[in-house]
Chain A
Amino acid sequence: MSTLSALAHVQAMESMQAVPLTEFRHRHLSGRPLVIVPLAMAGEAGAPLAAMVGSAKRNGTLLVVAQPRNRDQRFAFAADLGRIVMDYIDSFRQDRRGEGERSRYTEAPQILVPNPGGVKALADLGRMCRFRATSGPYAVPDVVPEFGMWLTFLVDWAEQAGTSMLLPVTEMLTEHWATGQSTLEDQNLASLMAWISPPSSLSVEQAMADAENPDVCPPAGPSTSPEFDNRDLAPAIRRFDTARTLGDPHALAAAEAELRELIAGQIQPTWRMVWQAISLLRSVPEAPRTAKRFEGDCKAFTDYSDYRDSGGLPQRKRDTAIGAARRLGRLERALAEFESDMAFDDRFVLADRRSAGEAFDGTVVKAEPGRTVTTDKNRRVPRPRVTVRTEDPVRLAADTKLISPSLPTGHKATIVSVLSDRDVTQITLEITGGMGRGRVPKQGTVPEPGQRIAYLPDPGWRPAPQFPASDATPWTHSAAGAAGTDPAVPEDAAAEEWGNED
Chain B
Amino acid sequence: MKKTVDDRLAALRGSAKRLDYNARSLAALENNPRCTLRALLDASGSDKTAIATHVGHPPSFGQSSFAITRGNAFEAMVKDNGCAELLRVLRETLHLTLPEVGYEDLNDVGGDGRSKERHERTEEVLLRAARGEGDGTLFDHPMLRLLIGGHKAYLEPDLVALRIDGRFHIVEIKSFPIIDEQADSTQVRAATTQACAYIIALRDLLGRAGIGEQAVSDTIVLVAPKDFTNRPTGAFVDARKQVAALTRQLSRIERIGDLVDLLPEDLTFDLAPDAEDRPRRPAEELTEALDRVLVTYRPDCLNHCEMAFYCRSRARAEASLDVLGPVVREQFGGIDTTTMVMGLARGELTPSEDQVEMAAALRHAARLRAELEDLGGAA
Interface residues of A (CB under 8 A from B): 1-4, 6-11, 13-14, 20, 22-24, 41-47, 124, 127-128, 176, 180-185, 212, 214, 223-227, 229-230, 233-234, 283-285, 317-318, 347-348, 351, 354-355, 391-393, 423, 496-500
Question: 21 interchain pairs (CB within 8 A)?
Answer: A1-B327, A3-B331, A3-B362, A9-B328, A14-B342, A20-B377, A20-B379, A23-B377, A43-B67, A46-B228, A180-B324, A182-B323, A182-B324, A183-B299, A184-B300, A229-B64, A230-B65, A284-B378, A355-B361, A497-B230, A499-B230
Q: Known: A1-B328, A10-B342. Contact between A496 and B62, CB under 8 A? A: no
Q: B103 in the interface, Cβ–Cβ < 8 Å?
A: no
Contact flag A6-B179 (CB < 8 Å), given A184-B299, A497-B230 = no
Tell me, in angstroms, the Cα distance from A96 to B368 when the chains sit together.
Answer: 45
Are A44 and B231 neighbours in the complex by a CB distance under 8 Å?
no
Closest 10 CB pairs of A and B: A43-B67, A226-B62, A182-B325, A182-B299, A45-B177, A42-B64, A6-B331, A43-B70, A229-B64, A317-B180
Interface residue B83 (Cβ < 8 Å from any Cβ of A): no
Since A4-B368, A42-B70 are in contact, a sample of 11 more A-B pairs with Cβ atoms closer than 8 Å, ordered by chain A residue number, is A1-B331, A6-B328, A24-B378, A41-B66, A42-B64, A43-B71, A182-B324, A182-B325, A183-B299, A229-B64, A230-B64
Chain B, range 268-306, C-beta contacts under 8 Å to A? 299-300, 302-303
Which residues in window 42-94 of B have CB below 8 A to A? Answer: 60, 62-71, 73
The residues of A that contact B339 with a CB separation of less than 8 Å are 14
B326 shortest CB reach to chain A, Å: 9
Given contacts A183-B327, A497-B230, contact A4 B71 (CB under 8 A): no
B62 touches A124 (CB 8 A): no
B98 neighbours in A (Cβ, 8 Å)? none
Instruction: Please tell me if B6 contacts chain A, counting CB pairs below 8 Å.
Output: no
- B364 in contact with A355 (CB, 8 Å): yes
Complex contact A7–B64 (CB within 8 A): no
Of chain A, the residue at the smallest CB distance from B298 is A182
**Which partner residue on chain A sits nearest B340 by CB separation?**
A10
B230 lies within 8 A of A7 (CB): no
| Residues on the A chain within 8 Å of B41, using CB | none
> A121 to chain B: closest CB distance in Å?
13
Interface status of B227 (Cβ within 8 A of chain A)? yes
- With CB as the reference atom, state the residue of chain A lying closest to B179: A127
Docked pose: A223 CA to B62 CA in angstroms: 12
B127 on interface, CB distance cutoff 8 Å: no
B324–A181 touching, CB < 8 Å: yes
Contacts of B299 in A (CB 8 A): 181-185
Q: Which listed residue (A176, A224, A227, A496) contacts B227, Cβ 8 A? A: A496
Is B259 in the interface zone, CB < 8 Å from A?
A: no
B residues near A11, Cβ cutoff 8 Å: 342, 369
Interface size on B (CB < 8 Å)? 56
Measured CA separation A3–B331 after assembly (Å): 6
B360:A423 contact, CB within 8 angstroms: yes
Q: Are B324 and A13 in contact (CB under 8 A)?
A: yes
CA distance A13 to B354 in the complex (A): 25
Residue B225 interfacial (CB < 8 Å): yes
Binding site for A on B (CB under 8 A): 60, 62-71, 73, 175-177, 179-181, 225, 227-231, 299-300, 302-303, 319, 321, 323-325, 327-328, 331-332, 338-339, 341-342, 345, 360-362, 364-366, 368-369, 371-372, 375, 377-379
Judge whether A391 and B378 touch: CB under 8 Å. Answer: no
In the complex, the chain A residue whose C-beta lies closest to that of B331 is A6
User: Given the complex, which residues of B lie within 8 Å of A229, measured CB to CB?
Assistant: 62, 64-66
User: In the complex, what's the smallest C-beta–C-beta distance from B51 to chain A, in angstroms?
Assistant: 19
The residue in chain A whose Cβ has the minimal distance to the Cβ of B301 is A184
Are A7 and B360 in contact, with the CB atoms below 8 A? no
* CB <8 Å contact, B327 and A351: no
Does the CB pair A14–B338 fall under 8 Å?
A: yes
Q: How far is the CA of A225 from the CA of B379 in the complex (A)?
A: 34
Which residue, A185, A355, A392, has most C-beta atoms of chain B within 10 A? A355
The distance in angstroms between the C-alpha atoms of A230 and B71, with both chains bound, is 15
- Tell me the bound Cα distance from A422 to B181 in angstroms: 55
Kindly state the separation between the CA atoms of A108 and B379 in the bound complex, as whole angstroms: 28
Most buried by A among B64, B68, B325, B369: B64
- CB contact under 8 A between A124 and B375, given known A229-B65, A393-B364: no
Chain B nearest Cβ from A399, distance in angstroms:
25
A42-B67, A392-B364 known; A7+B345 contact, CB < 8 A: yes
- Decide if B327 touches A43 in the complex (CB within 8 Å): no
> Closest residue to A12 on the B side, CB-wise?
B324
- The answer to whether B366 and A351 touch across the interface, beta carbons within 8 angstroms, is no
Q: In the docked arrangement, what's the CA distance between A199 and B366, Å?
A: 30
Give the chain A neighbours of B324 by CB distance below 8 A.
6, 9-10, 13, 180-182
For residue A498, which residues in chain B have a CB less than 8 angstroms away from its CB?
Answer: 228-230
* Among A44, A46, A184, A392, residue most surrounded by chain B Cβ atoms (within 10 Å): A44
Closest to B316 in A: A13
The answer to whether B369 and A351 touch across the interface, beta carbons within 8 angstroms, is yes
Residues of A within 8 A of B369 (CB): 4, 7-8, 11, 351
Residues of chain A within 8 A (CB-CB) of B71 are 43
Which has the most chain B C-beta neighbours within 10 Å: A42, A182, A354?
A182
In the complex, what residues of B have CB within 8 A of residue A181's CB? 299, 323-324
